[in-house]
Amino acid sequence: MRRAKGCMAARRGPSAAGMRPLLALLALPAAFGVPSDAGAAPRLELAITMDDLPAHGDLPAGETRLSVVRSLLAAFKAAGVPEVYGFVNGALVEQDPALERVLAAWREAGYPLANHGWSHARLDSLPLGQEEAEVARNEPLLARMNGTADWRWFRYPYLAEGDDPGRRAAMRSILARRSYRIAQVTMSYWDYEYDEAYRRCRDKGDEGGTAELERLFLHSVEQGIEYWLSLSRAVHGRDMRFVLLTHVSAINARMMPRVLALYRRAGFRFVTLAHAERDPAYAADLDPSRPPALDLERAPRALPVVPRYEPAERLEGLCR
């Protein structure tokens, strides 16, 4: 899906925080405890997931959907990431069957695929009764591509679980009946905000602009760590196991080796989605027949939360 605002547009956070120098967060662990424990045993756990397979966001000239995914897979393998779930919109493959090659590359790397809805529709905006078809229509493709790998995880498009309690419960009962678990999101760096500016910078051959964009991007990764750690501590009083949302985008393909190194430096080790979601904080996601858990971004908080960094203003003028 070509979505200017990406998966999480429905859940934009509070207003912009100031830009601070790169790595400032990791050098200043006192305020919110973001670690800078290079050399120490990792004490934080992160499951990595990617959305919108087989195609997300703007594609710079010279790149293909397959080249993007191959770069991503190479980065994950080089960093020893044990598993990366790829969440699929099957409608893209129906529109362009050649894109099935992207899914095949994912599987050849040994990573599993799961369900992100057939057409990336917001489930709570569909006419009543059509939600289940949006989930079910993806299943033959997932079953065929995955073999014995477990594809019964669902990632809500736009992370929109619905504000109406009745619709939200109805959707959960559909997922429970079809034996899904919900792939929650508790870590992100809002990568989709960079897609358009990155394509502009590359198409223009603007090396200075690209370098500035890379700097902002890595700042978002660092600041995302600080934001989600502070949320976890404010809501749960501890560091939960985290689940990272990213997208199969060209900017992620370029930056992933540096992104993974940054998480490592911050004290994370990479784990599977099932391992992360065995954290008790995700009990309602593992069993959708239960009432929904607290939304981490909306839950009452006992501690202050770091405001998230929003790069839109800086990106707007970049590589014009």
Q: Which residues bind Zn ion (CB under 5 A)?
A: 7, 51-52
Task: Give the residue carrying structure tokens 């540096």.
Answer: 258
Q: Are 183 and 87 in contact (CB under 8 A)?
A: yes
How many other β-carbons are positioned within 10 Å of the β-carbon of residue 10? 15
Question: Least distance from C-beta 52 to Zn ion, angstroms?
Answer: 4
Pairing of the two strands 187-188 and 242-247: parallel
CB-wise, 52 or 285, nearer to Zn ion?
Answer: 52
Task: Give the residue carrying structure tokens 């990406």.
Answer: 6
Distance CA(107)–CA(263), nearest Å, equals 25
CB-wise, 7 or 240, nearer to Zn ion?
Answer: 7
CB-wise, 1 or 240, nearer to Zn ion?
Answer: 1
H helical segments located in 116-266 = 131-136, 139-146, 165-177, 195-204, 207-236, 250-265
Question: Least distance from C-beta 298 to Zn ion, angstroms?
Answer: 20
C-alpha separations of 163 from 41, 253, 263 in Å = 41, 34, 32
- 105, containing H or E segment: helix 100-108
Contacts of 21 (CB under 8 A, 6+ apart): none
Question: Least distance from C-beta 51 to Zn ion, angstroms?
Answer: 4
CB-wise, 52 or 131, nearer to Zn ion?
Answer: 52
Instruction: State the helix-helix crossing angle for 65-78 and 250-265, rounded to 10 degrees.
Output: 10
Question: Least distance from C-beta 95 to Zn ion, angstroms?
Answer: 16
* Residue type at position 97: P
Question: Least distance from C-beta 57 to Zn ion, angstroms?
Answer: 10
CB-wise, 87 or 242, nearer to Zn ion?
Answer: 87
CB-wise, 13 or 35, nearer to Zn ion?
Answer: 13
CB-wise, 134 or 279, nearer to Zn ion?
Answer: 134
Distance CA(18)–CA(23), nearest Å, equals 14
C-alpha separations of 19 from 2, 23, 43 in Å = 28, 11, 27
Question: Least distance from C-beta 1 to Zn ion, angstroms?
Answer: 7
Question: Least distance from C-beta 120 to Zn ion, angstroms?
Answer: 6
